[in-house]
Chain A
Amino acid sequence: MTAAPRRDTGSLLALLLLALVAAPLGAVAWRGAGLTLGPADWAAVRFSVTQAALSALISTLLAIPVARALARRRFAGRGALVTLMGAPFLLPAVVAVLGLLAIFGRSGLLNSGLQAIGLPPVQIYGLQGVVLAHVFLNLPLATRMILQGWQAIPAERIRLAQSLGFDPADTFRHLERPMLREVLPGVVLIIMVICLTSFAVVLTLGGGPKATTIELAIYQAVRFDFDLGRAAGLAMVQLAIGAVAALAAWLLVRPAGLGAGLDRDTALPAPRGWRLWADGFALFAATLFLILPLLAVVIRGLPGLTDLPATVLPAAVRSVLVALVSALLTTGLALGFALAAARHPRPLIEVAATLPLATSGLVLGTGLFLLVQPFAPPMTLALSVTILVNVALTLPYLYRVLLPEARALHADYGRLADSLSLTGWPRLRWLILPRLARPLGFGAGIAAALSMGDLGVIALFAGDRQATLPLVVQQLTGAYRMEAAAAAALILVTLSFALFWACDAGGRRAAA
């Protein structure tokens, strides 16, 4: 009896979130006339799916050895490396592209090196560049999500494996493979959906109109053709792809069923021999790949720091406040979602917690604008709408991060807690928060940092006196001030990273 209302909370939240995605889309579709997709649109759909699938698979495959090495090796600077894993993911797309170009571009480090030893240059522009950038941005997210999986393997199982004399192959078969089977579908799904809607990265590195994505077709439909029906149609196609991917991932996930542990801290066995070298190589290569473009971003930003316009400070304060409020709301909501989904798995929740990522930013913004406009001047709602959109767009990340551990928590402690009548606040305080502290901190960090960066969706709501930091960066680049823009972007990235670090480290400390 008592479980009945709680069972509905998950579905109710899911429906609310779906409404938030569907209502703006409906508002845009309603203003448009008819739905027509030509051959060029289908070419855009094909390219979007291809690049997104490739980016997701490569990011995830490369992340597995890196996450395993981080899980089973202990070395100086390991904590710093794990934190660093958050950084590329938080870069605004254009900043990340310029950082990558400093290394892989035509006059970048790599090509200068190749030229010096007489080799032909590599060409970054094209599908390869798009995938490279997406791997750079998402490899860290994949690594962190898979690492959470490794850390969630109970110490008791590891000890049992050791006392049974498991070799690395046995450990993989009995412990690691079931864990990966549970975690990987969600990782591939979320990265694929992120890359599906990627706009500036694809266009800038794509090399030309061959690299046309659905989002660009939507852009053209809204801005130049003012064909809202077409924009809504394209946005629906994008959502449908996201929904299919979410359902496929849902079907592929198998609970690892490794059982509960007593939280003893036992490291995974760290095999010697070639495996040590392989782990070392994975860590070294990933670090180099991630840190060089980041360094380029820092070096580009430093010279302009002394000459920043006065608007940067209030804009930064505004952005941080928006980020904190967004993160708090998202974390609470995502926890509710993940707990509900762990208790009663259902595809509705799965789809609702994925679709916001597959929405077209431009259609979401345009639709919200159409919905709000009859009631209030959109400018006056700029910050509230920003927070609302941030919550919707960052919730899917948190949900994915929390879900595996919420499932394990429910499987291992659900019945015990129920039999003790541990419900409501005490259950949250004494069971859920302590056991989920690590993913909650990581997730809140992601939500806060991503909320610093979002711009595309709320451009229609921007007022003259409420500029956030990303808008200031955009204004600076639009007025030739590339040096000041790079410096403002460096501040944006530093603040994002600081927020991420504070939440993530807080979560890890609370879990320790």
Chain B
Amino acid sequence: MKTTLLAAGLSVIAIPALAETPVLTVLTYDSFTSEWGPGPAVEKAFEATCACDLQFIPSGDGAALLARIRLEGAASVADIVLGLDTSLTAAATATGLFAPHGLTPATTLPVDFADPAFLPFDWGWFAFVYDTTKLPDAPKSFEALAASDLRIVIQDPRSSTPGLGLLLWVKAAYGDRAGEIWAALADNIVTVTPGWSEAYGLFLEGEADMVLSYTTSPAYHLLAEGDGTKAAALFDEGHYLQIEVAGKLAATDRPDLADAFLAFMLTDAFQSVIPQTNWMYPAVTPATVLAAGFDTFRPATSLLMPPDQAEAARDPALAEWLEALAK
């Protein structure tokens, strides 16, 4: 009886003691938190420096993150949102839910990028990926692709961030001719999938000659599977960039920890995990050089619309896309 009481008393003391370990909550996309993603290593490394508990909330993909933060508003339990890209940051800024980070990091992005609310943590070029054993000569431009009888599978810009990236890529490369390019591409498109994984799955099953993915996708096959047959087609128009960013919520109750995490995000401990878990380029190239395979497909020209321009271009570009493909 006495020991029970004692135990009960101790546990009452123990709970507040445990609760005092501050918790930093990061809202991010599903694949970041999975055991083969960057999440576990990042958590371990940050917790070693912060005397805190880093918790991830996985929530779909980049677009789902933004929708969720808009749903939750200032009541969100999250302190940090990690995984938006530059086609979403204008809308994210407009919510007024994000606070400035106040940092001016030296990044290794191929373009100049600075945003008062968002810091980049990795980036990649969109590209069409193919199998060199089945397709020896890949097209070198959208026009060559459209003129060929190659079959491609892409993602829907209305449900997927790579799909939206492709929309902006064609717009950035061709401007007013974008509708014409889409009309010419229409007969090459096997199907339009809801997300990246369905499209990539169809490509691996042999349903298409090429799939919209990233220039770093072949590196996955090479480094994780020892398969060197996948390649990314380099286009003369240049390649649109996806820059993935993180930002601090203004309503966070742990602003100091949130700032510490954003600073940590740009250090080696975080950045060196990125290439072979997220299969993207780190925003600050870590001291440990990139593995071979990350240097094989590097486009000469990078395309990127500034966030507000991307936001403004989206609806007209979508209408153009729908009109060209719905025929």
Chain A residues engaging chain B, CB cutoff 8 angstroms = 31, 40, 94, 97-98, 101-102, 105-107, 125, 199-200, 203-210, 216, 219-220, 222-224, 226, 309-311, 366, 369-370, 373-374, 377, 379, 459-460, 462-464, 471-472, 474-482, 485
Q: Which residues from B are CB-within-8-Å of A369?
A: 71
A-B complex: 7 closest residue pairs judged by Cβ atoms: A477-B197, A107-B206, A220-B158, A478-B31, A475-B34, A223-B63, A203-B194
- Residue of A216, A369, A475, A485 most packed against chain B (CB within 10 A): A475
Shortest CB distance B316–A (Å): 14
Given A101-B202, A479-B36, the answer on whether A208 and B194 have CB atoms closer than 8 Å is: no
Q: Which residues from A are CB-within-8-Å of B67?
A: 222-223, 226
Chain B 311-327 interface residues, beta-carbon cutoff 8 Å to A: 314, 321-322, 325-326
> Which of A107, A309, A377 is the one whose CB lies under 8 Å from B36?
A309
Closest residue of chain B to A43 (Cβ to Cβ) is B326
Known: A222-B67, A311-B34, A460-B71. 15 other contacts (CB 8 A): A106-B207, A200-B194, A207-B190, A208-B186, A370-B71, A460-B59, A463-B58, A464-B33, A472-B34, A475-B34, A478-B34, A478-B195, A479-B36, A480-B224, A481-B36
Pairwise interchain contact A219-B59, C-beta atoms closer than 8 A: no
> Which of B35, B156, B193, B206 is the one whose CB lies under 8 Å from A106?
B206
Pairwise interchain contact B321-A459, C-beta atoms closer than 8 A: no
> Which of A200, A210, A474 is the one whose CB lies under 8 Å from B30?
A474
Shortest CB distance A8–B (Å): 37
In the complex, per-residue mask of B169-197: 1 if CB is within 8 Å of any chain A CB, else 0: 00000000000000000100111111111
Q: Which residues from A are CB-within-8-Å of B189?
A: 207-208
Q: Which residues from B are CB-within-8-Å of A220?
A: 158-159
Pairwise interchain contact B190-A106, C-beta atoms closer than 8 A: yes
Give the size category of B's interface with A: 35 or more
The number of residue pairs between A and B whose CB atoms lie closer than 8 Å in the complex comes to: 149
B37 within 8 A of A: yes
Pairwise interchain contact B279-A98, C-beta atoms closer than 8 A: no
A207 to B156, CA, bound (A): 11
Pairwise interchain contact A224-B158, C-beta atoms closer than 8 A: yes
A482 to B36, CA, bound (A): 13
Shortest CB distance B126–A (Å): 16
Pairwise interchain contact A373-B75, C-beta atoms closer than 8 A: yes
Pairwise interchain contact A479-B37, C-beta atoms closer than 8 A: yes
Q: Which residues from B are CB-within-8-Å of A478?
A: 30-31, 34, 61, 195-197
A369 to B63, CA, bound (A): 17
Q: Which residues from B are CB-within-8-Å of A102?
A: 205
A477 to B224, CA, bound (A): 15
> Which of B59, B61, B202, B322 is the one whose CB lies under 8 Å from A209?
B322
B57 within 8 A of A: yes
> Which of B31, B57, B68 is the one whose CB lies under 8 Å from A479?
B31
B198 within 8 A of A: yes
B77 within 8 A of A: yes
Q: Which residues from B are CB-within-8-Å of A311?
A: 34-35
Pairwise interchain contact A479-B34, C-beta atoms closer than 8 A: yes
A107 to B206, CA, bound (A): 6
Given A204-B193, A209-B321, A379-B57, the answer on whether A460 and B35 have CB atoms closer than 8 Å is: no
Provide a sorted-by-A list of 10 A–B residue pairs whose CB atoms are within 8 angstroms: A31-B71, A105-B207, A203-B156, A208-B186, A209-B156, A220-B159, A226-B70, A464-B58, A478-B30, A478-B197
Given A40-B322, A107-B205, A475-B31, the answer on whether A216 and B197 have CB atoms closer than 8 Å is: no
Q: Which residues from A are CB-within-8-Å of B68?
A: 460
Chain B residues engaging chain A, CB cutoff 8 angstroms = 30-31, 33-37, 55-61, 63-64, 66-68, 70-72, 75, 77, 91, 151, 156, 158-159, 164, 186, 189-198, 200-202, 204-208, 217, 220-221, 224, 279, 314, 321-322, 325-326
Pairwise interchain contact B191-A462, C-beta atoms closer than 8 A: no
Q: Which residues from A are CB-within-8-Å of B198?
A: 94, 97, 200, 204, 477
Shortest CB distance B273–A (Å): 14
Pairwise interchain contact A125-B190, C-beta atoms closer than 8 A: yes
Pairwise interchain contact B191-A207, C-beta atoms closer than 8 A: yes
Q: Which residues from A are CB-within-8-Å of B77?
A: 377
Q: Which residues from A are CB-within-8-Å of B151?
A: 106
A206 to B189, CA, bound (A): 11
Pairwise interchain contact B71-A480, C-beta atoms closer than 8 A: no
Q: Which residues from A are CB-within-8-Å of B220?
A: 480
Closest residue of chain B to A207 (Cβ to Cβ) is B191
Closest residue of chain A to B88 (Cβ to Cβ) is A224
A485 to B205, CA, bound (A): 14
> Which of A224, A310, A459 is the one whose CB lies under 8 Å from B60?
A459
A341 to B292, CA, bound (A): 67
A125 to B289, CA, bound (A): 44
Pairwise interchain contact A209-B326, C-beta atoms closer than 8 A: yes
Shortest CB distance B185–A (Å): 11
Shortest CB distance B63–A (Å): 4
Pairwise interchain contact B191-A206, C-beta atoms closer than 8 A: yes
Pairwise interchain contact A209-B63, C-beta atoms closer than 8 A: no
A460 to B77, CA, bound (A): 13
A220 to B67, CA, bound (A): 10
Q: Which residues from A are CB-within-8-Å of B193?
A: 203-204
Q: Which residues from A are CB-within-8-Å of B158?
A: 216, 219-220, 224
Pairwise interchain contact A208-B224, C-beta atoms closer than 8 A: no
Q: Which residues from B are CB-within-8-Å of A207?
A: 189-192
Q: Which residues from B are CB-within-8-Å of A200?
A: 194, 198
Pairwise interchain contact A101-B205, C-beta atoms closer than 8 A: yes
A216 to B163, CA, bound (A): 14
Given A463-B57, A478-B196, the answer on whether A471 and B191 have CB atoms closer than 8 Å is: no
Closest residue of chain A to B36 (Cβ to Cβ) is A479
Pairwise interchain contact A480-B159, C-beta atoms closer than 8 A: no
Given A216-B158, A223-B64, the answer on whether A208 and B34 have CB atoms closer than 8 Å is: no
- Residue of B34, B56, B58, B75 most packed against chain A (CB within 10 A): B34
A123 to B59, CA, bound (A): 35
Q: Which residues from B are CB-within-8-Å of A370?
A: 71
Pairwise interchain contact B159-A216, C-beta atoms closer than 8 A: yes
Q: Which residues from A are CB-within-8-Å of B34?
A: 311, 472, 475-476, 478-479
Q: Which residues from A are CB-within-8-Å of B200?
A: 477, 480, 482
Closest residue of chain A to B209 (Cβ to Cβ) is A106
A125 to B193, CA, bound (A): 11
Pairwise interchain contact A482-B201, C-beta atoms closer than 8 A: yes
A106 to B279, CA, bound (A): 29
Q: Which residues from B are CB-within-8-Å of A477?
A: 197-198, 200-201
